[in-house]
Chains A and B, each alone.
Chain A
Amino acid sequence: MRSDLLPLIYLVDDDPEFRDLMAAVFKKRKVEFVGFDNPADFLKRLREKRPTLCLVDLHFGGVSSGYQLVQAVRNVLGPELPLIVTSSTSDTHSVSHAMEIGATDFVIKPVDLDILFTKLEYYSNALKQDSSFNFFPVPEDRAAGRMRLGLKVREIDELGITFRTPHLFVKGTFMKVTGPLADEILGAGESFPVTITSSSVEDGIYTAFGEFESVNEKVLQLTRLWLGKQKAPDAG
């Protein structure tokens, strides 16, 4: 890997062995690297010199500190700096939450160096995309549109739908879900009104739960009826 692709990496992690390992790895690859063992020094340096990319331990100093660090980086350097969080393998909900509040990507500890460097190169190349095409802001009254996305239903129950998707849906998002299963349960052309209430990620695929609108009695009743039929046929 060419070092000019990765000029400066900051790592904040309270594990000295991990910091030493990363220092050795980056040194070998001729990448400038600075490790921090406390948030104050890290944030101070961030303000002084902008890195190409940050690596942040999601569990630095306890349960919520990693999230606070992610938010602090975004407050200091804005939304575009690539920020990769590191986390343990069992913590898919935490990773998903970190992505929602501003992390760009994640790597699971113990860190696979090939995966790490693939991601670092990817984000550095993305940064280096030099667009000679200026972007023109679209007038607000002409900006509205819509996007169609596919989902795979993992499970459906009386409260909602668990689905898998490569995309991250922000918690609290309300949406209408359509398709053959909705047609079968609710009637042709009908949709499930759901609000995303939880999300986790594993191997790059998000598993999210969309909770049914509790006031929509028709959806709840028809779904319950359909679920009951899956257990035993209705003899009428």
Chain B
Amino acid sequence: MAVLNKEILVVDDDPEARTLVRRALESLGSLVIEVDSVAGAREHLKQSLPHAIVTDLNMPGEDGFALIEAVRAIRSKKALPIMVLSAKKDKADIFRATSMGADEYLTKPFAVSQLLQKLKRMLKDRDFLKTTFPVGQEPSLEVVVPINVRSLNEISSVIESRVKLAPGGAVEVEASIFRDLGLSDLPKKRTHSPGVLTEGGAYANLIAFVGVSESLAQSVRKSVRTWVKPDAK
């Protein structure tokens, strides 16, 4: 549905009018932000980009026309549609508002069904904002994924997670068991054995510890033998 989970900024100095609009929009699952002046709207627009604005025209201080002008200076109709809700019925006012950039005009008193219908139409045509990064200039992000260390020996470990790791690369893993066994500081590398899908829907990946010394290997061997019997990988 076009209005579900959308943020709608309602600008009107009349609290009853704001309440009426808010209830109508919230009944369809919109998130409604109310402000009582154009100054309040300007302030909100510094912090947020609503999906649409519903504004009165006649307000103390700056009027709705000023708001339309200010919004259209920085946002296109496709990016931020505006609906005017006003008692002004003059064709001249309607023409002025729409030519300045309002998408819809509804005179007060209005039928709620008409309000919702116009709003849905406005939001349906709204552009979906996105930014695409050129190949080679994609920003890097990082994700931390929980793992279970399923088994290990002196030189490698099977770790389970909801990621099937690409073979051959370095792996950054942390686990208390690695710390306890003195393996934390060793570089770890994804081996070339295939990642295996387990019954729980996770992947078992084999990683190798790089540069295990003989003394560390003995220490690990001694520690793990206190757990349980050896397991077939």
Contacts and interface: CB of A to CB of B under 8 A. Distances in A.
A123 interface: yes
B5 A214 contact: yes
Given A138-B152, A138-B227, A154-B133, A167 B163 contact: yes
Interface stretch (A37-45, A56-64, A101-109): A101-109
B24 interface: no
Interface in B1-37: 5, 7, 31
Interface string A134-175: 111111001111111111111111100101101111100101
B40 to A, nearest CB: 14
Which of A101, A138, A146, A156 has the most C-beta atoms of chain B within 10 angstroms of its own C-beta?
Answer: A138
B202 interface: yes
Classify the secondary structure of B's interface with A.
mixed
Given A142-B177, A145-B159, 20 more contacts: A74-B197, A79-B197, A79-B204, A129-B193, A135-B153, A136-B225, A139-B227, A145-B147, A146-B145, A147-B147, A148-B145, A151-B143, A152-B138, A169-B163, A178-B143, A221-B7, A224-B49, A224-B51, A225-B48, A232-B76
A143 B150 contact: yes
A228 B130 CA distance: 9
Given A102-B197, A170-B203, A231-B79, A144 B146 contact: yes
A116 interface: no
B144 A135 contact: no
Interface stretch (B84-92, B101-109, B117-125, B166-174): B166-174
B48 A122 contact: no
9 closest A-B pairs (Cβ-Cβ)? A145-B175, A157-B130, A134-B230, A166-B166, A179-B141, A227-B129, A152-B138, A168-B164, A135-B151
Contacts, number: 245
A180 interface: yes
B113 interface: no
Interface of A: 74, 79-80, 82, 99-102, 104-105, 122-123, 125-126, 129, 131, 133-139, 142-158, 161, 163-164, 166-170, 173, 175-182, 192, 204, 214, 217, 220-222, 224-225, 227-228, 230-236
B140 A135 contact: no
Contacts of A148: 142-145, 172-173
Nearest to B127: A231
A131 B233 contact: yes
Contacts of B153: 131, 133-136
A137 B150 contact: yes
B73 interface: yes
Of B48, B156, B199, B228, chain A has the most CB atoms within 10 Å of the CB of B48
B169 to A, nearest CB: 7
A154 B132 contact: yes
Contact of A146 (B174, B193, B201): B174
Given A166-B169, A228-B129, A144 B151 contact: no
A168 B163 contact: yes
